[in-house]
Amino acid sequence: MVIPAAVSGLPSTIVALATGDDVLASSRAAGTLLGKPSLVRGMVAHAALSLWWSTVLRAVLPRRHRVAWGAAAGLAIAALDLGVVARRWFPAVAALPQAPQYLDHVAFGVAVAVTAEW
């Protein structure tokens, strides 16, 4: 769970660094899942969601083509998290640049798939 959670933030962090945006904005926005934007709340929310989705993906990803399925699962989770849940209940998350957030979710799915092989 630790590796996928850490890897999942790399795409948006790289984009934020390249564009001069705030690299912690998405972490603070995730804090709104626990009441208000803050780095600590964001880290807790991210850890809880990463644990949940890691557990689900490890249980359902097929062994064959696991990495491809992990990437697809990451996209599906992004569609749910960003396209439905964030838009409806968490505007701070929905306001983040979407492409890097989708890439984060794909990276997460791939990382879960790769670490599940270990």
Q: What is the pLDDT of residues 70-109, one digit of tens each?
A: 999 999 999 999 999 999 999 999 999 999 999 999 999 9
Q: What is the dihedral of CA 61, 62, 63, 64, to 10 degrees?
A: -130
What pLDDT is attached to residue 53?
97
User: pTM score, two decimals?
Assistant: 0.95
Q: Is-contact 74 107, C-beta < 8 A?
A: yes
Listed in sequence order, the residues at least 6 apart from 7 whose beta carbon sits closer than 8 Å to its beta carbon are: 107, 108, 110, 111
pLDDT digits (tens, 9 = 90+) for 19-74: 999 999 999 999 999 999 999 999 999 999 999 999 999 999 999 999 999 999 99
Residue type, 61: L
Instruction: Show the tokens assigned to 33.
Output: 């899942």
Residue 1 pLDDT > 80, yes or no?
no
DSSP annotation string for 1-50: -HHHHHHTTHHHHHHHHHHT--TTHHHHHHGGGGTS--HHHHHHHHHHHH
